[in-house]
């Protein structure tokens, strides 16, 4: 049982690292706002494999547009 858990955790981290590398190379791009949890160092590794929705209501472009209209 312990071995199966270690294999699953290892596979999860390996997939997360692979997706982070793909993002770094430009194959994927996150459209979250700058205050989203997935933009924080360390947590960004799990951005693409976290099972729950992590995108904020507004994308980064929406936030920029909203900020410019508020000024």
pLDDT(71) > 60 = no
Q: What is the pLDDT of residues 20-70, one digit of tens each?
A: 888 889 888 777 777 777 777 877 777 777 766 665 555 556 666 666 665
- Confidence (pLDDT) at 5: 94
CA–CA separation, 3 vs 20, rounded Å?
26
Per-domain boundaries in the chain: 2-70
Pair of tokens at residue 17: 């690292």
Count the residues in the chain. Answer: 71
Q: What is the pLDDT of residues 3-25, one digit of tens each?
A: 999 999 999 888 888 888 888 89
Task: Determine the 3-state secondary structure of 44 from DSSP.
Answer: helix
Give the count of beta carbons closer than 10 Å to the beta carbon of residue 65.
12
- Put simply, whether the predicted model's pTM sits higher than 0.75 gets the answer no
- Confidence (pLDDT) at 62: 63
């Amino acid at each position: 049982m312990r071995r199966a858990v270690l294999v699953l955790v290892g596979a999860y981290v390996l997939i997360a690292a692979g997706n982070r590398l793909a993002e770094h190379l430009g194959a994927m791009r996150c459209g979250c706002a700058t205050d989203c949890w997935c933009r924080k160092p360390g947590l960004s590794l799990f951005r693409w494999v976290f099972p729950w929705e992590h995108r904020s209501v507004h994308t980064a472009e929406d936030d920029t547009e909203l900020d410019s209209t508020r000024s």
